[in-house]
Amino acid sequence: MSPLIEVRGLRYRYEDGTDALRGIDFTVYPGETVVLLGANGSGKTTFLLHLNGLLQGEGSVRVCGMDVSPRNFREVRSKVGMVFQDADEQLFMPTVLDDVAFGPLNQGFPAEEAAARARSALARVGLGDIEHRAPYHLSAGEKRRAALAGVLAMEPEILVLDEPTTYLDPPAQRNLIGLLVSLPQAKVVATHDVRFAAALATRAVFFDKGRVAKEGKLDEIVELFQWDWGT
């Protein structure tokens, strides 16, 4: 089976000269859910931004067999659906339906087809009844699911989620876990929430100072780095 994501020797340096990523190797196969753990500033978010070319560093990043480079951005961004930490920044259109249709419209679908895709994505995340609401009036959980619908409408093969449980209360977290488990796509999830990770992860990767310090089973990693304060 060929990998969906294949990253080799990825390095990235911020404009101020700090090394954010110092040689990352990373692979994701179809059907996997890989959880990224690590302290704030360990490079998780910076790494995720390379998966669809929002940041470009040295080394190679391949998605579905394509190099992530400007000439492939269009296809790569259709394959990799990225849900950001701040849902308010992701839901920038005036209504939920407009927002979810934003991706399909950019993929070149005509308005009717885009709206149909948006509606089916909204139904998929359980928000079929709020398409004309303004994003501002949604709860944190609804915002997160609407943001997810926005990328699902593009029918990606990989979902990338950055701290998806931020601002969510426990019921909304459970709801999100159920939803993510039901989605067939491969997933890459950066999170601090070990319970959330345990419910999803098929594999875990620990980031430390811009490097992959360890990868393997979630339990091992949690134990090795004493990442869970609860037990």
Instruction: By CB under 8 A, name the binding residues for other proteins.
Output: 49, 52, 54, 74, 77-78, 82, 84, 86, 88-90, 92-95, 97-98, 101-103, 105-107, 111-112, 114-115, 132-137, 150-151, 154
Q: Which two tokens stand for residue 151?
A: 């990328």
CA dist 126 and 128 (Å) reads 6
Q: How far is the CB of 62 from other proteins (least distance, A)?
A: 18
Torsion of CA 175, 225, 25, 71, to 10 degrees: 40
Q: How far is the CB of 148 from other proteins (least distance, A)?
A: 12
Q: Which residue lies nearer to other proteins by CB, 111 or 181?
A: 111
The dihedral through the CA atoms of 87, 34, 222, 194 has a sign that is positive
Q: How far is the CB of 54 from other proteins (least distance, A)?
A: 6
Q: How far is the CB of 141 from other proteins (least distance, A)?
A: 18
Q: Which residue lies nearer to other proteins by CB, 101 or 222?
A: 101
Q: Which residue lies nearer to other proteins by CB, 34 or 149?
A: 149
Residue 93: closest CA among 149, 46, 41, 37? 149
Straight-line distance from the first to the last Cα atom of the chain, in angstroms, rounded to the nearest whole number: 37
Are 12 and 51 within 8 A, CB to CB?
A: no
The beta strands (E) that lie in the chain are given as: 5-13, 19-28, 33-38, 58-63, 66-67, 80-83, 158-162, 186-190, 203-208, 211-216
Q: How far is the CB of 214 from other proteins (least distance, A)?
A: 29
Q: Which residue lies nearer to other proteins by CB, 21 or 55?
A: 55
Q: Which residue lies nearer to other proteins by CB, 62 or 119?
A: 119
Q: How far is the CB of 53 from other proteins (least distance, A)?
A: 9
Residue 228: closest CA among 206, 203, 202? 206
Q: Which residue lies nearer to other proteins by CB, 100 or 218?
A: 100
